[in-house]
Amino acid sequence: MSWKGTVHRALRRSTGFELRRAPPPREPRPRPRPPRVRVRSGDRLVEAPVFILSTVRSGSTLLRVLLGSHSQIHAPHEMHLRDIAVEVKSKYVERALDSVGLDQAHLEYLLWDRVLHRELAASGKSVLVSKTPNDVFILDRIRACWSDARFIFLLRHPAAIAASRHATRPQDTAERNVEMIRRYAVALEQARTELPGHTVRYEDLASDPAGETQRLCAFLGVPWEEAMLDYGRHRHRGLKAGLGDWTEKIRSGQVQSPTLPPPDAEVAGPLREFAEAWGYLPAGPPTAAPGARAPAS
């Protein structure tokens, strides 16, 4: 018996464990591209929709109600486009749709556009702002649907996000909480590196709502209105669980100062790279891009 076999046998006998070669690290799977959709005249009723891209618990509901208090901006509650789908149930339907240049993906996009246009038309306003945090996971499909879509990137200190999510979901373990936030942060940072748009920090928005909304209005091409700041005087639907923030802080109708994040030393390891990338922590030694896997040795 070789010396390796002797060691393995002794280890199993004394501890019940054995040494095994670790499997090679998995290469990250490329994000699948959505099918190409040929857009014809009249297919899209919503022009240049704006999407707020953020993690959960980043203040996106506050940003929504401030923008939605503008006379020209409609910002409905979370619409969860990712889970709005159509089903093509037979080959005959496939043939019929194909004959007019449609397929399942195209039908879904028509439905998404129609739902948002219905909201916009009912509001009597001209600019549609959509916010659902899980939109960061369907960004390719959003861009395939609306080639003229615009984007606002909303950032918040990752440790503050973790603390806020723990307060609303105390049943989750600290590890699950951090992993959930990390998944959103990876997708958000990828969007920020790939797309043009306007970046705003929650801390700046809560500390200087006038200045930040002025810059947002300039990005959206509408004049700033002071009435946006008093969002409690406007009717905003959807302040309930599943449709956005529902806590007393947002229901107060007033912008409140942001809470201080935990000390830098308490930022969970998986979130530190995003705290650095977003300017909340000083940059450490050079590393791979946030969320990227280290190359196999």
pLDDT tens, residue by residue, 117-159: 999 999 999 999 999 999 999 999 999 999 999 999 999 999 9
Highest mean pLDDT: which range of 25-29, 75-79, 100-104, 222-226: 222-226
More confident residue, 242 or 80: 80
Q: Is 187 left (phi over 0), alpha (psi -120 to 50) or beta?
A: alpha
Task: Look at residue 287 and give its three-state secondary structure.
Answer: coil
Q: Please give the pLDDT value at position 278.
A: 96
As a whole number, mean pLDDT of residues 218-236 equals 89
- Closest by alpha carbon to 278, among 132, 154, 138, 136? 154
E strands present in 124-224:
127-131, 150-155, 198-201
What is the tens place of the pLDDT at every residue in 175-204? 999 999 999 999 999 999 999 999 999 999
pLDDT at 293: 40
Residue 257: partners with Cβ closer than 8 Å, 6 or more residues away:
206, 207
- Is pLDDT of 29 > 60? no
Residue 281 has pLDDT above 60, yes or no: yes
Q: What is the DSSP letter of 293?
A: P
pLDDT of the residue at 4: 54
For the chain, give the mean pLDDT.
84
For residues 65-73, average pLDDT:
96
d(C-alpha 231, C-alpha 266), whole Å: 34
Q: Any idea what the Cα angle at residue 194 is, between residues 188 and 199, rounded to 5°?
A: 55
What is the average pLDDT across 243-256?
64
pLDDT digits (tens, 9 = 90+) for 259-268: 888 888 889 9
Q: How many angstroms separate the Cα of 13 from the Cα of each of 7, 8, 9, 137, 259?
A: 10, 9, 6, 49, 55
Tell me, letter by letter, the H, E, C secondary structure of 136-197: HHHHHHHHHHCCCCEEEEEECCHHHHHHHHHHHCCCCCHHHHHHHHHHHHHHHHHHHHHCCC
Determine the pLDDT at residue 246: 52
14 in helix, strand or coil?
helix
CB 123 within 8 A of CB 142: no
